[in-house]
Amino acid sequence: MTSRLPVAVDAMGGDNAPHLVVEAARIAVERFDTPVLLVGDPDRLGDLGDLPFVPATQVVAMGAEPARAVRKLKDSSIVRGAEAVRDGRASALLSAGNTGAAMAASLLRMGRIKGVARPAIAVPFPVLRSTPTTVLDCGANADCQPEWLIQFAQLGTAYARVRFGLERPRVAVLTIGEEAGKGNSVVKEACELFELDGWAEQCGAEYVGNVEGSDLLAGAADVVVCDGFTGNVVLKSLEGGFDLFRSEVRKVLAASPDVTALDPLFEFWEPGNTGSAMLLGTRGVTMIAHGSSSAITLANAIRTTDELSQVDIVRSLRASVGEMT
């Protein structure tokens, strides 16, 4: 075990919590040497061996109204996990539970980066033979002001640089036509702001204009910004479409010995495998894993969360919106 701060892991969040989360934590510790701090109900966690934990007797249900749940359930695993980060007992927070609750807990306990109007959820969309395209916001803000999209672009740029090693990420706006001036009123106003100098220089982005829905998996940009309603609908549409596509292809080819050749491709696109979402804009690292993640995927997410906190991604995010200038 290393002596650095552990990743606080919400043991109660996810479709198969807590046992699958505990298993993931054990893999992270034993296989990746990543220090973890499980947060959850000791009566339900089972035998933890020597895995460190923080007790939390309450659970925010998957369908619960996030802000209210976080205010009411002060001894919930997600709230205690966020507090562990705030209090310097953990380096970062990871949850596969209620996304809105993770966001609310992070916002209320860790606080916002100065100058950030609203944090956003950044989701890496898998791109074959390339780095992922980071799409944000994927659900934190159903209604957005045009200027928020600029901040999303800045935060997304810092994220793509730190997470995927892109020196000057290409940033685009998601809209309904390639030509300038296409979109709804928020996008149109945002596009005018995107044409102005200053924001791209501040974060080191290359602005490449508009992309359409069909470009999202094709690597047309490294960072794509949109409001959280659009981002969430698109994310779920592609996940649902992929699930259906994969199951039907497997059904048709059930009798073929060649069907296994598709496994790596399907693994690559598997929603749970494409990397956790990160909440960008709070003063701490908060990662949100897919509720259906497998133990190994979750263990990988814990490792990634640890790595991002090790390289102080929050410092880069703060600089991207000018907090330090």
**What mask, x for binding a copy of itself by CB under 8 A, covers residues 124 to 153?**
----x----------x--xx----------
282: which strand partners?
A: 112
- Residue 202 corresponds to which tokens in the numbers above? 């501040």
Alpha-carbon torsion, ordered 263, 264, 270, 276, to 10 deg: 150
Q: Does 61 bind a copy of itself (CB under 8 A)?
A: no
- Residue 319 corresponds to which tokens in the numbers above? 């600089």
Minimum separation from the CB atom of position 15 to a copy of itself (A)? 15
Q: Give the Cα separation of 265 and 261 in Å (integer).
A: 8
Q: Does 232 bind a copy of itself (CB under 8 A)?
A: yes
Minimum separation from the CB atom of position 65 to a copy of itself (A)? 8
Q: Does 15 bind a copy of itself (CB under 8 A)?
A: no
Q: Does 233 bind a copy of itself (CB under 8 A)?
A: yes
Considering only residues 208, 218, 296, 319, which one is a binding residue for a copy of itself as defined by CB under 8 A? 218
| Residue keyed to tokens 């609203």 | 118
Q: Does 30 bind a copy of itself (CB under 8 A)?
A: no
Considering only residues 187, 205, 225, 308, which one is a binding residue for a copy of itself as defined by CB under 8 A? 187
Between CA 103 and CA 114, with CA 109 as vertex, the angle to 5 degrees is 85
Q: Does 108 bind a copy of itself (CB under 8 A)?
A: no
Q: Does 79 bind a copy of itself (CB under 8 A)?
A: no
Cβ partners under 8 Å of residue 58, min gap 6:
41, 73, 74, 75, 76, 77
Interface with a copy of itself in residues 263-292 (CB under 8 A): 265, 269
Comparing CB distances to a copy of itself, the nearer of 27 and 226 is 226
Minimum separation from the CB atom of position 132 to a copy of itself (A)? 14
Minimum separation from the CB atom of position 111 to a copy of itself (A)? 25
Considering only residues 215, 273, 310, 323, which one is a binding residue for a copy of itself as defined by CB under 8 A? 215
Task: Say how many residues touch a copy of itself, by CB under 8 A.
Answer: 51
Comparing CB distances to a copy of itself, the nearer of 43 and 179 is 179
Name the strand (E) or helix (H) holding 105. helix 99-110
C-beta neighbour count of 311 within 10 angstroms:
11
Q: Tell me what percent of the chain is helix, strand and coil, each rounded to the nearest 5.
A: 45, 15, 40
Cβ atoms of 30 and 50 closer than 8 Å: no
